[in-house]
């Protein structure tokens, strides 16, 4: 059994069937790139994995833990959903940093709240007995992540004073701070000026070498080709083709993939 | 001169009543308004409908009429209950201003992009944490201007309390004019102007304080 298993996910909004039977799996440390035209269901799939949407049916398993099972009639409590969400991280297209907090506070806010809560319920947080000690560790980890994305000197700035690329790098650090099993990116460069996409993509490349398991929804075909271990091409709510970048991008079999890729005739540069 | 001091003293006495109404209304109506705004955004349709109807009635009728209703009609309807004048005024003001504040809060809350909630959700935060740690601060910034408007209106509305014979500042001034002394009535304007001036300064200070970030 793979590290991440997604089986027969179906999701509709009213009569509109957005995901029709999506299944795939991913090993620990692998990078999956999802490509496809707008409206093909890529973003909805990521949102289902992060429990921002609830699929109608299907099953999601991470590291042997069943996080979602559509055949299980018991409704999940908010606390369970919150716990399941922590297996996944999500970096949004539009960054969604918290504007009123400094860069470092954006990263530490959720871990600090979690630490406070956990100390309250069982007296410790990741082995740290007191909140002060836990907070120190969280802060250090946030600074480590900020230097990883190359923004340590901006830690006391507010998001409004950063460029889009910098904001997205902070958002990546924020998602990493909770140590997700699988980090998802929803078109992380689509809201950026072309000259700013490079810095974000190179941060994601850097994460690959540090063995993060990642799912990247992207329109950057060249980037997907370089970074991904596995590519899924989605079209109208189904996986039209999947395989290695060499298979899907260099030698597409399905006509739909060919048509899609022909629009990116400059890919790979 | 002696007359001027006498008038000033009486008006200050009256203005004390206005200040009590102002302060108590503000302190109670802001949290109550927040609660009402939750009601009008509830996913439970009957509650939402009820709250919206009440807000419609409160905003759709004159505050003066509401003062009469609370003071005169409540005892008729519910035999035992009789408010003293100040309590009746406070109740009417608090209900009235909660309705207005609730709509300002609702607008402010709904103006916060979905992405802010979702960012909190994927970070494993609780609904209450998302509201108090992420959304509320941004709402406060967005609603400072409309709230300041409403607060300044409240200062002047307090003089409506005279319709149920609360000896507030305009009532005091009217007592003088009944004795043939007209100028105290215009003198009351200075009290309101100075009070509202201070509030204006206070609110622009708050706005400046919240100016450290954008968005």
Task: Work out the average pLDDT over A74-85.
Answer: 85
pTM given for the model: 0.85
pLDDT band at A265 (very low <50, low <70, confident <90, very high): low
Give residue B100's pLDDT. Answer: 97
> How far, in Å, CA of A188 to CA of B212, rounded?
27
Choose among A240, A181, A209: nearest CA to A4. A181
Distance between CA atoms of B195 and B15, rounded to whole angstroms? Answer: 10
Residue A268 pLDDT: 46
The pLDDT value recorded for residue B172 is 93
3-state secondary structure of A28: coil
Per the CB < 8 A criterion, the answer to whether B154 and B26 are in contact is yes
In A, minimum Cα distance to B134 occurs at A98
Q: Where are the alpha helices (DSSP H) in chain A?
A: 42-49, 78-85, 103-122, 131-148, 164-176, 194-209, 221-227, 245, 255-262
What are the angstrom distances between the C-alpha of A38 and each of A34, A186, A234, A236, A248?
12, 12, 10, 9, 18
Closest CA to A24 of A249, A241, A254: A241
The DSSP string of A169-206 is HHHHHHHHTT--SEEEEESTTTTS-HHHHHHHHHHHHH
- What is the least distance, in Å, from the CA of A254 to any CA of chain B? 35
Long-range contacts: A95-98, Cβ < 8 Å, 24+?
A: A95/A159, A95/A164, A95/A167, A95/A168, A95/A170, A95/A171, A95/A191, A96/A171, A96/B113, A96/B115, A96/B116, A96/B118, A96/B119, A97/A159, A97/A167, A97/A170, A97/A171, A97/A174, A97/B119, A98/A159, A98/B116, A98/B119, A98/B134
Both tokens of B129, joined, read 């944490």
Contacts of B100 (CB under 8 A, 6+ apart): B33, B59, B150
Task: Please check the confidence at residue A264 and state whether its pLDDT lies above 80.
Answer: no
Is A85's CB within 8 Å of B116's CB? no
Smallest CA–CA separation between B176 and chain A, in Å? 53
Q: Are strands A238-243 and A230-235 parallel, antiparallel or unpaired?
A: antiparallel
Label each residue of B8-45 as H, E or C: HHHHHHHHHHHHHHHHHHHHHHHHHHHHHHHHHCCCCH
Instruction: Please tell me the distance from the alpha carbon of residue B50 to that of residue B75, in angstroms, as a whole number.
Output: 24
Give me the residue from A50, A86, A100 closest to B138, CB to CB: A100
3-state secondary structure of B50: helix
Q: Which chain A residues are within 8 Å of B126, Cβ to Cβ?
A: 78, 82, 113
Pairing of strands A57-62, A4-13: antiparallel
In three-state secondary structure terms, A239 is strand
- B138: tokens are 């941004």
CA–CA distance, A116 with B125 (Å, rounded to integer): 12
pLDDT tier at A77 (50, 70, 90 boundaries)?
Answer: confident
Q: Inter-chain contact A99–B125, Cβ cutoff 8 Å?
A: no
The first and second tokens of residue A21, run together, are 């039977």
Per-position pLDDT tens, chain B of length 215: 788 899 999 999 999 999 999 999 999 999 999 999 999 999 999 999 999 999 999 999 999 999 999 999 888 887 777 788 999 999 999 999 999 999 999 999 999 999 999 999 999 999 999 999 999 989 999 999 999 999 999 999 999 999 999 999 999 999 999 999 999 999 999 999 999 999 999 999 999 999 888 87
| Average pLDDT value for residue range A258-266 | 79
Q: Which of B115, B124, B137 sits opposite A114 (nearest CB)?
A: B124
Under 8 Å between Cβ of A115 and A138? yes
Q: What is the mean pLDDT of the segment spanning A1-8?
A: 90
Average pLDDT over residues A210-228: 90
B57 beta partners: none
Residues of A in contact with B133 (CB under 8 A): 109, 113
Residue indicated by tokens 């009601």: B39
- Dig out the tokens for A126 from the structure: 């990741």
Q: Do B124 and A78 touch (CB under 8 A)?
A: no
Residue B69 vs residue A71, higher pLDDT: B69
Phi, psi of A124 (to 5 degrees): -155, 160
Using CB atoms, which residue from A85, A94, A174 is nearest to B115? A94
Q: Between chains, do A160 and B126 touch, taking CB under 8 Å as contact?
A: no
Examine the pLDDT at A269 and tell me if it is beyond 70: no
Q: From B213, which residue of chain A is nearest by alpha-carbon distance? A: A100
DSSP 8-state code for residue B81: -
Q: Given an 8 Å threshold on Cβ–Cβ distance, is B123 in contact with A78?
A: no
ipTM for the complex shown: 0.90
State the smallest CA–CA distance between residue B5 and chain A in angstroms: 50
Q: CB-based contacts of A83: which residues, under 8 Å, 6+ apart? A: B124
């Amino acid at each position: 059994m793979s590290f991440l298993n997604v089986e027969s996910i179906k999701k509709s909004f009213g009569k509109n069937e957005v995901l029709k039977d999506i299944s795939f799996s991913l090993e620990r440390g692998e990078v999956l790139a999802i490509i496809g035209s707008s409206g093909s269901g890529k973003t909805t799939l990521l949102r289902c994995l992060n429990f921002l949407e609830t699929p109608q049916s299907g099953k999601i398993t991470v590291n042997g833990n069943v996080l979602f099972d559509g055949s299980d009639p018991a409704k999940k409590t908010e606390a369970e959903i919150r716990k399941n969400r922590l297996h996944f991280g999500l970096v949004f297209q539009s960054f969604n940093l918290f504007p009123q907090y400094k860069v470092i506070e954006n990263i530490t806010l959720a871990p600090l709240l979690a630490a406070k809560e956990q100390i309250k319920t069982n007296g410790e947080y990741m082995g740290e007995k007191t909140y002060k000690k836990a907070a120190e560790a969280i802060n250090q980890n946030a600074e480590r992540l900020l230097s990883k994305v190359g923004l340590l000197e901006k830690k006391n700035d507010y998001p409004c004073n950063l460029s889009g690329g910098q904001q997205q790098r902070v958002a990546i650090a924020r998602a990493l701070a909770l140590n997700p099993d699988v980090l998802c990116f929803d078109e992380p460069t689509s809201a950026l000026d072309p000259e700013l996409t490079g810095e974000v993509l190179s941060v994601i490349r850097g994460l690959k070498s540090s063995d993060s398991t990642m799912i990247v929804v992207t329109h950057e075909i060249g980037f997907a080709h370089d970074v991904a271990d596995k590519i899924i091409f989605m079209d109208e709510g189904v996986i039209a083709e999947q395989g290695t970048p060499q298979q899907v991008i260099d030698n597409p079999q399905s006509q739909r993939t060919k048509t899609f890729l022909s629009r990116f005739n400059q890919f790979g540069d | 001169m002696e007359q001027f001091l006498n008038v000033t003293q009486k008006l200050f006495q009256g203005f004390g009543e206005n200040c009590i109404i102002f302060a108590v209304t503000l302190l109670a109506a802001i949290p109550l308004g927040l609660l009402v705004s939750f009601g009008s955004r509830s996913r439970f349709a009957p509650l939402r409908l009820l709250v919206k109807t009440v807000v419609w009635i409160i905003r759709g009728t004159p505050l003066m009429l509401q003062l009469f209703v609370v003071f005169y009609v409540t005892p008729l309807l519910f035999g035992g209950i009789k408010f003293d004048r100040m309590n009746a005024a406070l109740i009417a003001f608090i209900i009235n201003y909660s309705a207005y504040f609730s709509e300002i809060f609702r607008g402010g809350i709904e103006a916060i992009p979905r992405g802010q909630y979702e960012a909190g959700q994927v970070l494993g935060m609780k609904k209450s944490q998302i509201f108090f740690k992420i959304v509320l601060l941004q709402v406060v910034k967005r609603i400072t201007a409309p709230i300041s408007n409403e607060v300044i209106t409240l200062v002047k509305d307090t003089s409506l309390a005279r319709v149920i014979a609360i000896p507030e500042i305009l009532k005091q001034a009217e007592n003088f004019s009944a004795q043939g002394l007209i100028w105290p009535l215009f003198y009351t304007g200075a009290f309101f102007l100075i009070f509202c001036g201070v509030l204006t300064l206070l609110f622009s200070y708050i706005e400046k304080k919240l100016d450290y970030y954008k968005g």
